[in-house]
Amino acid sequence: MIEILVDEQKHGFEAGVTAAEVLADKDAIAARVDGRLVDLSVRLEESCTVEPVRFGSEEGRKIFWHSGAHLMAQAVKQLFPEAKPTIGPAIPDGFYYDFDVPKPFTDEDLGRIEERMKKLAKKQIPIIHKWFPREQAIKFFSERGETYKLEIIKDLPDKRISVYEQGDFVDLCRGPHVPNTGRIKAIKLLSVAGAYWRGDENNRMLSRIYGIVFPTEGQLKEHLARLEQAKLHDHRKLGPALDIFSFHEEAGAGLVFWHPKGATIRRLIQNYWNREHLAAGYQLVVTPHIGRGRLWQQSGHYDHYREDMYTFMVDNEEYVLKPMNCPGHMLIYRTKVRSYRDLPLRMAEWGTVYRNERSGVLHGTIRVRGFTQDDAHIFCTPGQVEDEIFGVIKLSLKMLRAFGFTDFNVDLSVRDPKHLDKYLGTDEQWDLAEKSLISALERSGLKYHRAEGEAVFYGPKIDIKLLDSLGREWQCSTCQFDFNLGDRFKLYYMGEDGKHHSVYLVHRTVLGSIERFVGILVEHYGGAFPTWLAPVQARVMTVTDKEIGYARNVVRQLVAAGVRVEIDTRSDKIAYKVAEAERLKIPYMLVTGAREAQKQVVSLRRHGKGNLGTFSIEATLAQIGEQANVPG
């Protein structure tokens, strides 16, 4: 007999019982055994803790959607035997699978593949995990001409290769997966695109199919409705349409050109950020855009990210366009001896960095090659760590809420207890760091998900993911311990005992890159920014040329009150002017006709709400002023 903990209660089972039998949960699609994700069919031989994994969780969706990718690949292989599967991961909104095919898939092909997927799902084909000895795996995929799978196996150090079998389809995969294809009830293939193998332009172009699957048809319908809404919020269309930013092929891909309105939004965000950080005790710094290659070798970035860095030669020495701001802050800290009395030292910067992102991953302002990051580093003593982490969380939530975000998912990423040798730093450092992160989260009242094994090799972290108006998750705020840079740059402080001590280093960002954050804001608000953030808060419009003088006087009063205002004196009909202002999502529209000019008032309109009535200039300023301040 073995003891298994389920729902905080211990139960006795015979060794060899499956996770499915232990849970007896019809909604479970996989299980978590002692923190490790496994198939429901896994047999339990020792005492352990077992938890159900359902579709409603992030892990559950990834498992479900990855199973959808396998189902699609099986359908493709049946319909197009010459297709060579490559990889098919789950992504935040579904999955994709890349295939090497003689000619790209068409929309008509997608319809056929989708129908075949539905037939395979109805057959409830068992999805079985198997282990092949390395040579057997090579022989198996060689006989089937699966050259891409062979290339993947070549890069794996494992002596045993994990595969999943469902009927006539076998794929390389670590899993886990749903128990059988019948768990997939709703299927929709969304689009087809080109993608280079392994994202390298020098490799063969593949045909990528995007899709989504759900446990119920209702969930699929809701998702498709959200996708339609998302199209209306797409920042890549709204940004240029609202005159916020543009991209230019002749300048290069992934480089954003900010128009006056976009530059205004950036300035408003940065001014608010600066104000809040100064109030929170941060000191603002500026570091160069380039540096010697040896600086990035010292930081360790050169060895890990060399192919993503822009390099060039100066006086026979290699220089680098700054890919991250961290080394610059380390050099500033090191310019003098720091005492424990100087700590905590909070150093922050809007630092512009450049990364050689693959063209296939560039996406509007969300993923670019040049961006400005709100980086900060906190240098502190061990005893200050928890309060500093709590301060980061408090500041992050305050600022994100000011921009209109109210719902968050929080991840705590810690070491894999079974592979401690993979991580830098001492056990003492990791224990203090993890306990500090947990205590700070509990003080903040945030619910969080503990992700064992998700910490990076140089420290544990907290990720705060915001949910936008369409329920989509965006990673913005991160609070990350770094046990790497402090050691590499030999950062110390003089303690009360008169001895040198290693400084604790916390790397954090609140908004992430301003390019990405503006893109998120455009999609969150559908371009209709709150008044305080709108690049143009009001537009004054004349009915005829006779009111131009009065309209200009109204503009002067608004400008004097600090309102960002435009004037429209064109000879077009007022209905057209109003419609255009609505299209541009300007919060307030002030109509000045003959009657308004005579009474020294304006007809006030609100975007999306229509006519509010007739108001004096003072009353109009009061209405705008109520909305023009940063929330909180």
From the CB of residue 307, how many other CB atoms can be counted at a distance below 10 Å? 8
DSSP notation for 546-602: GGHHHHHHHHHHHHHTT--EEEE--SS-HHHHHHHHHHTT-SEEEEE-HHHHHHTEE
| Helix or strand holding residue 627 (H, E) | helix 617-627
What pLDDT does 304 receive?
A: 80
> Taking a C-beta distance cutoff of 8 angstroms, is the pair 167, 125 a contact?
yes
Please confirm, yes or no, whether 248 is among the known catalytic residues: no
Active-site residue (options: 70, 116, 326, 539): 326
From the CB of residue 490, how many other CB atoms can be counted at a distance below 10 Å? 11
> CA–CA separation, 400 vs 402, rounded Å?
5
Please confirm, yes or no, whether 375 is among the known catalytic residues: yes
The reply to whether 2-54 and 538-627 are identical in fold is no
Active-site residue (options: 98, 109, 375, 463): 375
Instruction: Identify whether 344 is preceded by a cis peptide bond (ω within 30 of 0).
Output: yes
**Which residue is listed with tokens 């109204």?**
554
C-alpha dihedral (155, 160, 166, 172), degrees to nearest 10: -10
DSSP notation for 28-70: EEEEEETTEEE-TTPEE-S-EEEEEEETTSHHHHHHHHHHHHH
| Helix or strand holding residue 626 (H, E) | helix 617-627
Low-confidence stretches of the chain (pLDDT beneath 70):
632
Q: Would you list the domain boundaries of the chain?
A: 2-54, 59-225, 245-287+329-350+357-525, 291-324, 538-627
| Beta-bridge partner residues of 501 | 493
Structure tokens belonging to residue 288:
């160069």
What pLDDT does 379 receive?
A: 98
Distances in Å between the Cα of 207 and the Cα atoms of 210, 395, 626 are 10, 44, 52
Structure tokens belonging to residue 598:
């005579």
* CATH code for the part of the protein at 245-287+329-350+357-525: 3.30.930.10
Residue type present at position 448: Y
Structure tokens belonging to residue 80:
């197009």
> CA–CA separation, 180 vs 124, rounded Å?
5
Give the closest residue to 524 by CA, choosing from 606, 404, 628, 409: 404
Please confirm, yes or no, whether 233 is among the known catalytic residues: no
pTM: 0.83
Structure tokens belonging to residue 103:
């000619």
> Taking a C-beta distance cutoff of 8 angstroms, is the pair 239, 262 a contact?
yes
Structure tokens belonging to residue 38:
């496994």
Backbone angles phi, psi at 481, to 5 degrees: -75, 145
Please confirm, yes or no, whether 537 is among the known catalytic residues: no
Q: Is the dihedral of CA 146, 178, 156, 309 positive or negative?
A: positive
Question: pLDDT tens, 305-326?
Answer: 888 999 999 999 999 999 999 9
What pLDDT does 297 receive?
A: 94
From the CB of residue 420, how many other CB atoms can be counted at a distance below 10 Å? 10
Active-site residue (options: 461, 508, 516, 539): 461
Instruction: Identify whether 52 is preceded by a cis peptide bond (ω within 30 of 0).
Output: no
**Which residue is listed with tokens 């001492």?**
426
Backbone angles phi, psi at 430, to 5 degrees: -65, -40
Backbone angles phi, psi at 611, to 5 degrees: -75, 130
What pLDDT does 418 receive?
A: 76
Q: What is the DSSP letter of 126?
A: B
> CA–CA separation, 156 vs 598, rounded Å?
81
Question: pLDDT tens, 593-629?
Answer: 999 999 999 999 999 999 999 999 999 999 999 898 8
* CATH code for the part of the protein at 59-225: 3.30.980.10
Structure tokens belonging to residue 358:
């693959």
Burial of 15 (0-12, 13-18, 19+ CB in 10 A): exposed
Long-range contact list for 243-249, CB < 8 A, 24+ apart? 243/584, 244/518, 244/522, 244/535, 245/365, 245/518
- Edge to edge, the sheet with strand 2-6 lists 9-13, 2-6, 48-54, 28-33, 36-38
**Which residue is listed with tokens 């999306």?**
608
Backbone angles phi, psi at 271, to 5 degrees: -65, -45
> CA–CA separation, 273 vs 510, rounded Å?
9
Structure tokens belonging to residue 52:
């159900």
Please confirm, yes or no, whether 11 is among the known catalytic residues: no
Contacts of 521 (CB under 8 A, 6+ apart): 265, 403, 529, 533
C-alpha dihedral (313, 318, 319, 320), degrees to nearest 10: 110
* CATH code for the part of the protein at 2-54: 3.10.20.30
Active-site residue (options: 261, 329, 338, 355): 355
Which CATH superfamily includes the segment(s) 538-627? Answer: Anticodon-binding domain (3.40.50.800)
Distances in Å between the Cα of 10 and the Cα atoms of 21, 36, 45 are 15, 19, 15
Q: What is the total residue count of the chain?
A: 632
Active-site residue (options: 377, 508, 564, 585): 377
C-alpha dihedral (368, 190, 409, 534), degrees to nearest 10: 50
**DSSP H helix total and E strand total for the chain:** 19, 35
Scanning 204-324, the segments in alpha helix (DSSP H) are: 217-233, 235-241, 260-279, 293-299, 301-305
Q: What is the DSSP letter of 535?
A: S
What pLDDT does 632 receive?
A: 64
C-alpha dihedral (258, 263, 266, 271), degrees to nearest 10: 160
> Taking a C-beta distance cutoff of 8 angstroms, is the pair 388, 378 a contact?
yes
Structure tokens belonging to residue 547:
């009111």
Residue type present at position 170: V
Residue type present at position 63: I
